[in-house]
Amino acid sequence: MRVTATNDASVRTWAAPGRVNLIGEHLDYNGGPALPFAIDRTTRLKARPRTDGRVRVWSSIAEGSVEFGVDTEPGQVEGWAAYVAGVVWAYARDGHALPGYDLVLDSDVPLGAGLSSSAAVECVVALAVRDLQGLDLGAAQVARLAQTAENDYVGAPTGSMDQLASACSEDGHALLVETRTEPPTLTSVPADWAADGLAVVVVDTRAEHSHATGEYATRRSECEQVAEIIGVEQLALAPPDAVLKVEDPVLKARLRHVMTETTRTRAAVRALRERQWEHLGTLLTASHVSLRDDYQVSCMELDVAVDTALGAGALGARMTGGGFGGSAIALVARDGVDRVVSAVESAFAGARLTAPRTFVVTPGPGAHEVRG
Ligand code: GLA
């Protein structure tokens, strides 16, 4: 049985976006800044309460439905529905007695593309539960519940950026997330490159990435090791001479990325505010080089996308998100978008790579109820 909005007044609808991170990569678990924006692609949820303590969820990406109790525990629900069950669990862990729900998910955020499709699911469910229960929680607290689901139910050791971007972004703005404070400090920064004839193009490389496994967790623990060597709690707050204290060349490179990316991100915030697009582009490209060479989280497909976009006239380009696959972004003059897209498509075909998906994204609103 599908839940439809047309014949049931108790059904309400919410939407939560995916995100692109403009710059500030792998800093959200290091006490540094990140500058994501919510994209104009969302996960939508139709929801109505039940009274039997059960949650039943349907998704446009899967056959049939998944059912679990509001007393679900980590490990009981797996696959796509774990992101839903994790949110229910996070609320229960905070002491909220939930009645149960029927939920229907639908999304145009590409899955596995590094555009935070999972954060969009978590945030849309967290917001719907808040509103259905009439809870007095702000958007950042909704994001925190969503992150708890990701970290402690799904088991992916990610930072706070994705859920904050999905839950707290303002339409037409990027969201500066400063993670040196707890909770993170959030500042909306106008992001209107479109008014100056520019666009941000996403290249979804279709190369697989997964944060629940290996490399992401390895980077986190490398950063913790370096922080201990230097004697700082958060790596992004390391003093300029800290590199001198780290002998291991790999750890030194990780630190170099965190320090230079922190500086670049602050410069990018200024460039965005002052509409210095050439400068912003240069910073994006420098960020990619650092992620590729020092942090070593890029891959061949991402490098091909970035190099080709730059060769075809992009002002700047970089991988976005956790890396090891997923998407790249390019800042491009609007009338150069077709040239960049066809150059990237040809380069992928020439290298016998799976055809990428390309599309323009614009900064949209954070999670919200869809009325009317
Ligand atoms: C993933 C994680 C985020 C962040 C980025 C890298 O998207 O979910 O928390 O760490 O990688 O910046």
Per-residue pLDDT tens over the stretch 224-266 = 999 999 999 999 999 999 999 999 999 999 999 999 999 999 9
Output the pLDDT for position 212.
41
**pLDDT given for residue 174 in this prediction:** 99
Decide: 288 and 329 in contact? Cβ < 8 Å: no
Q: Which of 306, 298, 301 is nearest to 331 (CA)?
A: 306
What's the mean pLDDT when you consider all of the chain?
96
Q: Enumerate the active-site residues.
A: 162
CA of 322 to the centre of ligand 1 (A): 5
Q: Is 178 in the pocket of ligand 1 (CB under 6 A)?
A: no
Shared domain for 312 and 269, answered yes or no, is yes
- pLDDT tens digits for 106-118? 999 999 999 999 9
Residue 36 belongs to domain spanning: 12-190
Residues 219 and 335 in one domain: yes
Residue 120: how many other CB atoms lie within 10 Å: 34
User: Is residue 366 a part of any domain in this protein?
Assistant: no
* Number of domains forming the structure of the chain: 2
Name the pLDDT band for 5 (thresholds 50, 70, 90): very low
Q: Is residue 5 part of a domain?
A: no
Is pLDDT of 372 > 90? no
Q: What is the mean pLDDT of residues 42-66?
A: 96
Q: Are residues 235 and 292 in the same domain?
A: yes
Does residue 217 sit within a domain? Answer: yes
Bridge partner residues of 21 (DSSP): 36
For residue 160, which atom of ligand 1 is closest to its CA? 9
Query: What confidence category does residue 9 fall into, taking pLDDT thresholds of 50, 70 and 90?
Result: confident
pLDDT exceeds 50 at position 132: yes
Closest CA to 205 of 333, 325, 290: 325
173 and 159 within one domain: yes
Closest ligand 1 atom, residue 119 Cα: 8
Q: Cα(54) to centroid of ligand 1, in Å?
A: 32
Residue with CA at minimum distance from ligand 1 atom 8: 158
Q: pTM of the entire structure?
A: 0.97
CA of 77 to the centre of ligand 1 (A): 23
Per-residue model confidence (pLDDT) at position 214:
87
Question: Quick one: pLDDT at residue 213?
Answer: 62
Q: Is residue 208 part of a domain?
A: yes
Last residue of one domain, picked from the residues 165, 190, 215: 190
Give me the residues paired with residue 175 across strands. Answer: 188
56 lines ligand 1 (CB under 6 A): no
CATH number for 329: 3.30.70.890
In tens, the pLDDT along 281-335 reads: 999 999 999 999 999 999 999 999 999 999 999 999 999 999 999 999 999 999 9
326 CB near ligand 1 (under 6 Å): no
